[in-house]
């Protein structure tokens, strides 16, 4: 069997990965001004950097919103498309041996996909995600670069912008410790530093997504959530989600190659049938 290429085509960013046998091979991403340029740039760079010949490739699998712009085989290679939510589910399930879970795909917005054994089902989403984080950062920090935002936030103090339970009550409430957030940005004032604002924006997006994920499994048996997408690269994930685990009694998992799991899932969609 040859190499199976999975490609997640976004609006301007394309993520690409090869699966050779059972091994994930050299994931990478490319950013361009439009999805077609991004796709062909990513594909060309991927095969060049990895010394792959077109004859080595058995199948190309496309997913993501940008894949709608591609109507012909890529470089004459066998090419097919897979639903993005199915790719999310397959990519996340590949990283864990848990039978029941919800995949939280943190992209420009956020989608929720429920996995119950072999069944993969899109159960909803929300218009808060990386696009929200970038938009607010443009307005308040004058940058939309993820790395720069994360670096600024590293020096921030979340207690200067978020109102916590301990600020309004001198003892924990039922199921809520004093450090739990009572109001996002509820303590912010005009003297807030750029560092505190940056941290507040990241916390707002991550906590809102985490809270919505928990609510999506309310009154059901699922307690495991697999986080995928670009936002998993923020170091603040290691602060926000462990605290939410303690409050809600759930588990948030960030698998290896979390930002590439949709592309991985696209390749797996082909492999699962062959």
Residue spans of the chain under pLDDT 70: none
Which numeric CATH code is attached to 98-253? 3.30.420.40
pTM of the model: 0.94
Top CATH class of 3-86+260-272 equals alpha beta
Which pLDDT value is given to residue 214?
A: 97
How many other C-beta atoms are found inside a 10 Å radius of the C-beta of residue 106?
A: 27
* pLDDT tens string 245-266: 999 999 999 999 999 999 999 9
d(CA 53, CA 66): 25
d(CA 63, CA 80): 9
Sign of CA dihedral 36, 37, 43, 44: positive
- Sketch the domain layout of the chain as residue ranges: 3-86+260-272, 98-253
């Amino acid at each position: 069997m040859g190499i199976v290429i999975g490609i997640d085509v976004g609006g301007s960013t394309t993520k690409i990965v090869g699966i050779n046998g059972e091994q994930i091979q050299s994931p990478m991403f490319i950013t361009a001004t439009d999805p077609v340029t991004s796709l062909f740039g990513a594909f060309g760079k991927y095969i060049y950097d990895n010394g792959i010949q077109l004859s080595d490739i058995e199948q190309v699998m496309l997913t993501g919103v940008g894949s709608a712009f591609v109507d012909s085989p890529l470089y004459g290679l066998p090419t097919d498309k897979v639903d993005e939510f199915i790719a999310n589910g397959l990519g996340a399930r590949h990283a864990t041996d848990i039978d029941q879970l919800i995949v939280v795909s943190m992209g420009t917005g956020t989608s929720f996909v429920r996995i119950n054994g072999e069944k993969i089902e899109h159960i909803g989403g929300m218009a808060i995600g990386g696009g929200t984080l970038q938009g607010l950062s443009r307005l308040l920090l004058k940058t939309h670069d993820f790395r720069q935002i994360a670096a600024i936030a590293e020096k921030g103090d979340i207690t200067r912008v978020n109102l916590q339970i301990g600020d309004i009550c001198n003892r924990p409430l039922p199921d809520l410790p004093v450090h739990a957030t009572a109001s996002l940005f509820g303590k912010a004032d005009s003297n807030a530093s750029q560092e505190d604002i940056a941290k507040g924006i990241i916390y707002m997006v991550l906590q809102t997504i985490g809270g919505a994920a928990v609510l999506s499994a309310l009154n059901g048996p699922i307690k495991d959530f697999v986080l995928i997408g670009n936002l998993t690269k923020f170091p603040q994930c290691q602060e926000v989600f462990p605290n939410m685990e303690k409050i809600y009694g759930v588990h948030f998992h960030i698998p290896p190659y979390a930002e590439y799991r949709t592309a991985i899932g696209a390749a797996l969609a082909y492999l699962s049938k062959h």
